[in-house]
Amino acid sequence: DIQMTQSPSSLSASVGDRVTIACRASQSINNYLNWYQQKPGKAPKVLIYAASSLQSGVPSRFSGSGSGTDFTLTISSLQPEDFATYYCQQSYSTPPYTFGQGTKLEIK
């Protein structure tokens, strides 16, 4: 299986900050990389697919980049509703399409 490693595991930031979350794959996955947001007690929802494509309805302050093994999710100006846990997921080749361990974004 392809292993996905996110960093950091947790992060404290303030409203208005620019935040970057990293995700590294154990082998090249081209740009077959998705990002999800999960708020406490809720199901995850997709933010970014294909490494950099913004899902319909997702605010433009979210962006994704990367290819190969290294990827980033950036939030350009944190809003109160962005405090949540973020997961990357690879969809390269055959299943399982593994997730990263998550990055918890907390209010400073």
Q: Tell me which residues touch other proteins (CB under 8 A).
A: 1, 30, 32, 34, 36, 38, 43-46, 49-50, 55, 87, 89, 91-102
Closest approach of other proteins to the CB of residue 68, in Å: 14
Closest approach of other proteins to the CB of residue 29, in Å: 8
User: Between residues 20 and 93, which has the closer beta carbon with respect to other proteins?
Assistant: 93
3-class SS at 40?
coil
Q: Which distant-in-sequence residues (6+ apart) come within 8 Å of 86 by Cβ?
A: 6, 21, 35, 36, 37, 38, 47, 73, 102, 103, 105
Contact 65, 51 (CB under 8 A): yes
User: Between residues 55 and 74, which has the closer beta carbon with respect to other proteins?
Assistant: 55
Closest approach of other proteins to the CB of residue 92, in Å: 6
Closest approach of other proteins to the CB of residue 44, in Å: 6
Contact 100, 7 (CB under 8 A): no
If phi > 0 it is left, if psi is from -120 to 50 it is alpha, else beta; for residue 19 that is beta
